[in-house]
Structure 1
């Protein structure tokens, strides 16, 4: 009897903590979350070891722990960095929106064309180059500024890798999007698994919370803390 009473007292004493944890889980499921990036498909914008913040309400508020949306929210825009499950195997991916519903997309020698117009490119350098994994820094690599609409971002090209650098024009169906990684020769994206339905897009990544360098005993990359992704 004393043991039962003690257990009940502990439950009552900890109900505030349990309520807080429950609300936190609901918040992370439906409103905002953070995730670790283990691959280099978004180099140089996102570096392996970055933990990024995700706005899960950016494209509509959802019922926690489901894909049921309570509101429509804004639509993904070209240049947004979004989180979604791979149509191929369900793995959580981070990619950039390149094509909107109705767009015609083609790639010719690493150069994107949207609705027949070539995007603007310029050779550049990246401050993230020194923070890339040792294996990547051992490869030949080039950086370019790519302009999507009014926004510009850096992309990385690995010319010695076997990759899809060109494809014929494709038209993005209604309600779907064409995604690509910023590391163009090191990204499994819509070139390989096709279009991504809007309802599966979980949220928009917008900032690095913090970053740890696995090649240097997980030393914090303090210059990346709280840095914006766009």
Structure 2
């Protein structure tokens, strides 16, 4: 027991620092590894994204208990959530807000009866294109615009979906890689309290196709 006390006394500065870092990462900011391609081309496999955990709530550390409500997710936000339905942490984009009617027809997104517009776009270095060539487009509805990936060979059965009404305190989330994403079309609506933060930047990126070498051009990349 005395040995433990002496160890704690000698290292109290380091221990305090580590505890503060753990609390900070739990409640304020963290980074998240993205191992799948469901958000390509916006987020690439191997990206480490910065997560602002205080974007929407001040939470009790290590819990989902909100101590102070700051804001609600907006359409177009990229959010990180602890999904009970998927039993894992997910990164998706907010598409449907509470009260919205959402539908898809041949991968064309409709919100409250209004169809999104699509402008052709070009992207390179996307992992899934090695086996599944795709077309890319900038999807826009109102002021919200972002890139989506649409498979050329294997369109998803969920490219036709809805219409559904988003219930109160829930959100409809989709991946930008529309034909290769486990999202609300399969898992249902996501509760507000499952959303733990918002991501707007890539912190670090490592390329799994090239021995995890750094993709320096993606460091600090803004996520639109």
CA shift, 1:214, in A, is: 1.1
Distance in 1 separating the partners of 2:176 and 2:4: 53
What is the aligned partner in structure 2 of residue 111 from structure 1? 108
CA root-mean-square deviation: 1.4
Whole-angstrom distance in 1 between the partners of 2:189 and 2:199: 19
- Counterpart CA distance in 2 for 1:89 and 1:114 is 25
- TM-score of the superposition, structure 2-length normalised? 0.95
Quick one: distance in 1 between partners of 2:107 and 2:200?
A: 25
Deviations for 1:152-208, whole angstroms, at most 9, x for unmatched residues?
A: 211101131151111131010011100000000000100001101111101101110
Paired with 1:176 and 1:149, the residues of 2 have a C-alpha distance of: 21
CA distance in 2, matches of 1:167, 1:89: 19
- Structure-1 residue corresponding to 2:134: 141
The residue aligned with 1:227 is 221
Count of residue pairs brought into register by the alignment? 223
Structure 1 unaligned runs (5+)?
Answer: none
Match of residue 205 from structure 1: 199
**2:15 pairs with one of 1, 18, 21:** 18
| Residue matched to 1:216 | 210
1:151-190 map, 5 Å: 151-163=144-156, 164-190=158-184
Greater fraction strand = 2
| Match for residue 57 of structure 2 among 49, 56, 60 | 60
Structure having the higher Rg? 1
Of residues 74, 93, 98, the one that matches 2:95 is 98
Whether the aligned pair in 1 keeps the contact of 2:86 and 2:187 (CA below 8 Å) is: no
Give, in whole Å, the separation in 1 of the partners of 2:182 and 2:159.
Answer: 12
Distance in 1 (CA, whole Å) between partners of 2:86 and 2:77 is 22
Question: 1:81 matched to which residue of 2?
Answer: 78
**Equivalent residues of 1:156, 1:182 under 8 A apart:** yes
Instruction: Deviation per CA, 1:8-27: give whole Å up to 9, x if none.
Output: 33321211111111111111
1:122 aligned counterpart, secondary structure: strand
Instruction: Show structure 2 runs of 5+ residues with no match.
Output: none
Q: What TM-score results when the alignment is normalised by the length of structure 1?
A: 0.93
Q: 1:5: how far off?
A: 5.5
Deviation at 1:6, TM superposition (A): 5.5
CA contact (8 A) 2:34 2:48 kept: yes
Residue 150 of structure 1 deviates from its aligned partner by 1.2
